[in-house]
């Protein structure tokens, strides 16, 4: 497992994983607000299992990509975005994606459940009870954030809505607290 203090590509990294509708995105959103509110710089990576397109058909950047551009940058006074077309190449590994980020204090990763970075599992009884806890099969899960009490678990268990405690745990794991 990757050391949370050493990270990947020189970046401290911590993941949030769980089954569909377990509360991952909401937890990531709250963690970013909490941790950045404490003065730390935070970036995020979201893994999707399906093809996504952040561009719109007919837009200039879409047309550039359709014409065959490998990379297209959209830049404005408020933000810029880089779109990289794989064009049949394999999906890049998490480490390759992390290496493209500007250095920050912490990178929070949503998804990538089978990768070797440390993670907290978001668990909602309603969406996960039929499948069980990922923590029972994935040794990279270091704690669970749950909406229901979990008594037979040896890992730390936090209330899914106790963002401050979860943030403190992650920051401590990463050597930032």
Residue 128 has pLDDT above 70, yes or no: no
DSSP 85-102: --TTPPPPPHHHHHHTSP
Q: Supply 70's token pair.
A: 């490998």
- In this prediction, residue 38 carries a pLDDT of 98
Alpha-carbon gap, residue 143 to 118, rounded angstroms: 9
Question: Could you give the percent of the chain with pLDDT greater than 70?
Answer: 98
**Total residues found in the chain within this entry:** 177
Structural domain total, the chain: 1
Flag whether 1 is in a domain: no
Flag whether 81 is in a domain: no
Flag whether 154 is in a domain: yes
Model pTM score: 0.91
Domain CATH code at residue 100: 3.40.50.300
Residue 49 has pLDDT above 80, yes or no: no
Read off the pLDDT of residues 79-108 as tens digits, 9 standing for 90 and up: 999 989 999 999 999 999 999 999 999 999
Flag whether 83 is in a domain: no
Flag whether 33 is in a domain: yes
Question: Could you give the percent of the chain with pLDDT greater than 90?
Answer: 75
Flag whether 158 is in a domain: yes
Alpha-carbon gap, residue 84 to 173, rounded angstroms: 32
Residue 64 has pLDDT above 80, yes or no: yes
Residue 39 has pLDDT above 90, yes or no: yes
Per-residue pLDDT, averaged over 98-125, amounts to 95
Flag whether 164 is in a domain: yes
Residue 131 has pLDDT above 70, yes or no: yes
DSSP 43-90: EEEE--SS----S-TTSHHHHHHHHT-SEEEEE-SS-EEEEE--TTPP
Three-class DSSP category at 158: strand
Domain span including residue 20: 13-50+90-173
């Amino acid at each position: 497992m990757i050391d949370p203090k050493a990270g990947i590509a020189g970046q401290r990294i911590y993941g949030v994983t769980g089954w569909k509708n377990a509360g991952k995105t909401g937890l990531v959103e709250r963690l970013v607000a909490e941790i950045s509110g404490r003065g730390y710089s935070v970036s995020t990576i979201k893994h999707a299992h399906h093809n996504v397109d952040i561009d719109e058909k007919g837009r200039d950047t879409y047309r550039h990509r359709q014409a065959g551009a490998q990379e297209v940058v959209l830049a404005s006074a408020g933000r810029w975005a880089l779109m990289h077309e794989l064009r049949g190449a394999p999906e890049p590994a998490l480490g390759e994606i992390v290496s493209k980020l500007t250095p920050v204090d912490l990178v929070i990763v949503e998804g990538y459940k089978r990768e070797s970075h440390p993670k907290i599992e978001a668990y909602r009884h309603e969406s996960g009870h039929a499948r069980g806890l990922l923590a029972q099969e994935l040794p990279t899960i270091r704690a669970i954030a749950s909406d229901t009490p979990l008594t037979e678990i040896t890992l730390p268990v936090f209330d899914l809505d106790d963002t401050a405690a979860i943030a403190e745990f992650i920051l401590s794991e990463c050597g930032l607290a």
